[in-house]
Amino acid sequence: MISSNKKSNYAPKSTKKRKKVQKYIKNNEKRCEKYTFFDKNW
């Protein structure tokens, strides 16, 4: 039960992060380096 709860809590977080990153890229297309760095550590 605990592991399934962790999964359900983790999934929306990851999608939220992805959306945030995509938004960040759209707003700052020139800063692609920061996005790749973010993606590597993500």
The identity of residue 17, as a single letter, is: K
Tokens of 24: 């960040």
Task: Please report the pLDDT score of residue 24 as a whole number.
Answer: 73
| Top-confidence residue, 25 or 1 | 25
Task: Please report the pLDDT score of residue 1 as a whole number.
Answer: 46
- The yes-or-no verdict on residue 4 having pLDDT over 60 is no
Whole-model pTM over 0.85: no
| Top-confidence residue, 1 or 17 | 17
Domain encompassing residue 29: 2-41
* DSSP-derived secondary structure for 1-42: -HHHHHHHHHHHHHHHHHHHHHHHHHH-TT-HHHHHHHHHH-
| Domain count within the chain | 1
pLDDT in tens, 14-41: 677 777 777 776 776 665 565 566 655 5
